[in-house]
Amino acid sequence: AQSVTQLDSQVPVFEEAPVELRCNYSSSVSVYLFWYVQYPNQGLQLLLKYLSGSTLVKGINGFEAEFNKSQTSFHLRKPSVHISDTAEYFCAVSEEYGNKLVFGAGTILRVKS
Amino acid sequence: DVKVTQSSRYLVKRTGEKVFLECVQDMDHENMFWYRQDPGLGLRLIYFSYDVKMKEKGDIPEGYSVSREKKERFSLILESASTNQTSMYLCASIGPGQGTYEQYFGPGTRLTVT
């Protein structure tokens, strides 16, 4: 069975500093990987996804993630965060197109001025 | 743009009431999903549907049922609401031929059962 572990429940960071949100997954087959963001009082919005090909994936709002198959990780990074990046971030994995996503517990990113 | 709408943003119900949460998508998507979101637990799949009148249990179906009479609408039903069903409920959809593999989410319904 698939599972996703987000290693940090909360990450405080100062504005303009770099940030990394960590995600590890377990699966016995090939997977599709996603990062979603949830701003306060809103639904989830896709940040980026890995389906195949290049292991470095670029998404919206300056975020990127690197798929590391040997370490079964898909960490999210941004070189310089803004106050507006304050939100909850979810890593998710799917083994099959159109089928269910398995989510991690989420990481709350708090950007301080 | 794909739009997924949910009938209520906030809902307060009493224990034992029958509760209906409605979700509508406007992109002719085949697959629809209901998730429950709780702090520290992320999103957990309750039920999903890959066609009209078809449904499959997710990871936490107990205490819930669903209905999909029309392709665009997927309803979540709490037959007899209990306080442990107080949560945020999120609906999502995805369509065939979508190379993005992205599930589109509604804004969520925050349900409080008292």
A104–chain B nearest CA distance, Å: 6
Model confidence at B100, pLDDT cuts 50, 70, 90, reads low
Say if residue A51 is exposed, middle or buried (CB neighbours under 10 Å; 0-12, 13-18, 19+): middle
Within 8 A of A106 by CB-CB distance, chain B residues are 40, 42
B27–chain A nearest CA distance, Å: 15
Cross-chain residue pair B102–A32, CB shorter than 8 Å = no
What is the C-alpha to C-alpha distance for residues B92 and A83, in angstroms, rounded to an integer?
28
Mean pLDDT value across chain B: 92
B18–chain A nearest CA distance, Å: 24
Residue B97 has pLDDT above 60, yes or no: no
Which contiguous run of DSSP H or E holds residue A78? strand A73-78
Which residue among A34, A98, A103 sits closest to B42, beta carbon to beta carbon? A103
Whose CA is closest to B22, among B107, B95, B84, B114?
Answer: B107
Pairing status of strand B56-57 against strand B42-49 = antiparallel
Query: A44 pairs with which residues across the strands?
Result: A38
Structure tokens belonging to residue B107: 């804004």
Query: What tens digit of pLDDT does each residue of B53-67 get?
Result: 899 999 999 999 999
What is the C-alpha to C-alpha distance for residues A12 and B46, in angstroms, rounded to an integer?
32
Please check whether residue A10 touches B, CB under 8 A.
no
Query: What tens digit of pLDDT does each residue of A52-109 get?
Result: 888 999 999 999 999 999 999 999 999 999 999 999 999 999 877 556 789 999 999 9
